[in-house]
Amino acid sequence: MNLQETVLMQLRDLILRGTFEPGQRLSEQPLAERLKASRTPVRSALVTLEQEGLIEASETGKYLVRQFTPQEVVDAIAVRGHLEGMAARLVAEHGVSRQLHNELQSCLDAGDRLLSDNPLTFESYAAYAQMNDRFHQLILDASGNRALQRAMAMNDKLPFAQASAMLPMQGRVSLDRDWMLYAHRQHHMLLDALKKGESSRAQNLAVEHTEVAQMNMRLALERRADTEQWMPGIRLVAA
């Protein structure tokens, strides 16, 4: 697992936990020192975080923590679920090629190995996130629907909308690991539905899969409330 992925996971974790204030500047050198990494992976991670909508560039080119609401995150995850459901349905209808099956199965095998770690480290968490991104991207690519793929690319620019950005931000927490195990079982069930050409089941599984992400966000907010801390970067609003 390359260092850039690990640094990216750590920075996402810090943003979700509210370590940084909305509008706070994120500088490469202090972050590199904090994460015990060089500036190169930090620089690459900051570019990715901007693409994900978690930070934004100022007029002077400096990276600032973006402010967003929990509802924005929930909405983006919901949209992703329906887009992925459509992609899964199309793949099931088209049929799974031997190459696609082998690539998806390889992802599942890697996920099984990584989740055997207990507790999860940032390194194993980052490796799982990379595998998870590939699994979801394979299905999206195999759908063959360019409009769907463009819609997903646009949605991925919203905070925590990307597949692995939705994973638990603290994989070392036992409850988070349980949710990841559950989500990975859904991966197995989804591949089974795709292989059998069960389009409706595949679509429903893909939509339900994002409910794990919804739960992760609720748990994160509850943890903030339990410690009576403000959640910088995510503005809490009344329902």
- Measured between alpha carbons, how far is residue 238 from residues 69, 71, 173, 212, 235 in Å? 11, 10, 28, 23, 10
Closest of 183, 159, 201, 193 to residue 74, by C-alpha: 159
SS3 40: helix
Distance of CA 53 to the CA centre of its chain: 12
The predicted-structure confidence for 155-174, as pLDDT tens digits, reads as follows: 998 888 888 876 765 544 56
Distance of CA 140 to the CA centre of its chain: 15
Q: Residue ranges of the alpha helices (H) in the chain?
A: 3-16, 28-35, 39-51, 70-94, 98-114, 122-142, 146-155, 174-195, 199-226
In the chain, the domains with their CATH numbers are 3-65 (1.10.10.10), 70-226 (1.20.120.530)
Q: Is 77 exposed, middle or buried (0-12, 13-18, 19+ CB in 10 A)?
A: buried
Query: Whole-angstrom Cα distance, residue 67 to residue 55?
Result: 8
Instruction: Name the strands in the sheet holding 63-65, side by side, starting at the edge strand that comes first in the sequence.
Output: 25-26, 63-65, 55-57
Q: What angle do CA 16, 80, 89 make, to 5 degrees?
A: 145
The predicted-structure confidence for 101-111, as pLDDT tens digits, reads as follows: 999 999 999 99
Per-residue model confidence (pLDDT) at position 124: 84
pTM for the complete prediction?
0.82
What average pLDDT score do residues 40-48 get? 93
Per-residue model confidence (pLDDT) at position 235: 38
Across 9-18, 37-46, 203-212, least confident range: 9-18
Distance of CA 209 to the CA centre of its chain: 12
Q: Is the pLDDT of residue 229 over 80?
A: no
Cis previous bond, 119, omega within 30:
yes
Per-residue model confidence (pLDDT) at position 32: 94
